[in-house]
């Protein structure tokens, strides 16, 4: 990969994460998440191998679906309450859609099947970025809206993710 393209992708990852973490408006948070998604795609498909291309397409489709759910959640909340502020999430349907979108972005248990396959098709450094740095923006949105989200659902998803992740990790031989 061209060093300039790698630098632009890295700077875009930092920019997208910074925008999402520092935003109070739903559209800016969504914009930061989209910048992150578009910045990591060249890094996933860098080897130009069919497995890397497949991993890139899976990552893009899951992240685009989760971003659409997040945007729909924020729009339905704005429709119901008239607020675009992240901390003013009060509509119950919006809370459920946001929880689903964040679970998809983080790869939590009901929506986790894409994550090991994307990691297997990615280079090692990119897999490290996907496993760590790409989780900061969704977790920040989760923390900002945690007072509105269903704690029972979040606890169930966390316990199921830890349990199933550890159990399925014992069976994983290709990472």
pLDDT digits (tens, 9 = 90+) for 54-78: 999 999 999 999 999 999 999 999 9
Q: What string of DSSP letters covers 66-106?
A: HHHHHHHHHHHHHHHHS--BGGG---HHHHHHHHHHHHHHH
Instruction: Give the model confidence (pLDDT) of 105-164 as tens digits.
Output: 999 988 888 998 999 999 999 999 999 999 999 999 999 999 999 999 999 999 998 998
Smallest CA-to-CA distance from 121 within 40, 49, 27 is with: 49
Measured between alpha carbons, how far is 143 from 89 in angstroms, rounded to an integer? 12
Q: Are 136 and 21 in contact (CB under 8 A)?
A: yes
pTM of the model: 0.91
Strand, coil or helix: 85? strand
For residue 82, the 8-state DSSP code is S
């Amino acid at each position: 990969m061209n060093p300039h393209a790698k630098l632009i992708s890295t700077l875009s990852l930092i920019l997208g994460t910074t925008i999402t973490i520092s935003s109070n408006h739903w559209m800016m948070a969504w914009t930061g998440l989209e910048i992150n998604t578009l910045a990591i795609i060249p890094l996933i498909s860098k080897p130009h191998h069919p497995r890397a291309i497949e991993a890139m397409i899976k990552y893009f489709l899951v992240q685009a679906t989760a971003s659409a759910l997040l945007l729909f959640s924020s729009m339905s909340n704005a429709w119901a309450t008239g607020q675009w502020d992240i901390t003013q999430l009060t509509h119950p349907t919006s809370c459920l859609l946001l929880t689903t979108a964040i679970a998809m972005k983080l790869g939590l248990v009901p929506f986790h099947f894409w994550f090991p396959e994307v990691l297997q098709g990615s280079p090692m450094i990119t897999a490290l970025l996907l496993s760590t740095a790409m989780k900061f923006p969704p977790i920040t949105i989760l923390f900002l809206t945690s007072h509105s989200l269903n704690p029972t659902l979040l606890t169930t998803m966390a316990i199921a993710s830890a349990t199933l992740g550890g159990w399925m990790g014992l069976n994983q031989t290709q990472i």
